[in-house]
Amino acid sequence: MRYIKLFLSAFLLLLLIQTANAQRFEVGGGFGVMNYKGDLAPSVNVIHSRPSANLLLRYNFNPYLSWRNSLVFGFLTAEDRNSSDPYLKRRNFTFTGGTVGLHSMIEYHFFDLWENRKFLNFSPFISAGLAFNSFNSKLKYGSDDRRNEEFAVSIPLGIGIRKALDLNWSIGLELITYKTFTDNVDGLGEIENATKFQKGNPNDNDTVYHFGVTISYRFVDIKCPKPIADRYR
């Protein structure tokens, strides 16, 4: 809960900072799915996909370069029994949890989204930045379970495509990979008295994936035409 308040306060502060120049500013949100790769899922399994949502603020430095800040919420899960590895099936651990985070990224669009009529106002983009997340997990192993809260920093790397619907609205599709600096998103690293076969690999940090849709509104400063008499002065 303390991280939710902290991230929300930081997000509101960024809102105040970025709206200082409204005509370069966008606000929006999105939804999608999150997935996890770690000790309970050595590879991505679509069965483990869970819902996610976000609020976003975007500041456009120019038609190609943007600074995006997002408040992200999502759910995560993984089960050993869904693995193709016989050892993991026998171990039969399960984790469920959720995350909230503040993500700050730089986006580069290859085309001018609002003027690129040749490509029907589409533009692919890439993104990278820094993310701060609080992960809450419940790990079930045998007849026991353990709850854990983990704060983690990660490096988000993303690709996507956006389309301008009109002068103000745009829609996007994106895939973001979060390379975390922790091996404890699933709480497996906190098990006491675990055998070496039950523990995870501390040298292999967890990864979180997000795939989703975003929609945003751009504030545009529309200038009224001058009176005819003033045009010739």
Least confident of 63-67, 159-163, 180-184, 222-226: 222-226
Arithmetic mean of pLDDT over the chain: 84
The answer to whether 121 and 163 are in contact (CB under 8 A) is yes
What pLDDT shows up at residue 56? 94
Rounded CA gap, 206 and 49, in Å? 15
Sign of CA dihedral 44, 8, 12, 215: positive
What pLDDT shows up at residue 113? 87
- Condensed to tens digits (0 to 9), the pLDDT of residues 39-74 reads 888 899 999 999 999 999 998 998 899 999 999 999
What pLDDT shows up at residue 232? 42
| List of E strands, the chain | 25-37, 50-60, 65-79, 94-109, 122-141, 144-164, 169-180, 207-218
Residue 85 has a CB neighbour count (10 Å cut-off) of: 11
Bridge partners, residue 34, by sequence = 50, 210
Rounded CA gap, 86 and 226, in Å? 75
The top-scoring range by mean pLDDT among 50-59, 115-124, 220-229 is: 50-59
Q: If you average pLDDT over residues 161-171, what whole number do you get? A: 93
- Condensed to tens digits (0 to 9), the pLDDT of residues 91-116 reads 889 999 999 999 999 999 999 988 86
What pLDDT shows up at residue 118? 66
Identify the residue whose tokens are 């038609």.
63
- According to CATH, the topology of domain 2-17+28-220 is Porin (2.40.160)
Rounded CA gap, 140 and 96, in Å? 9
Q: If you average pLDDT over residues 158-162, what whole number do you get? A: 97
> Model's pTM, two decimal places?
0.82
What pLDDT shows up at residue 211? 97
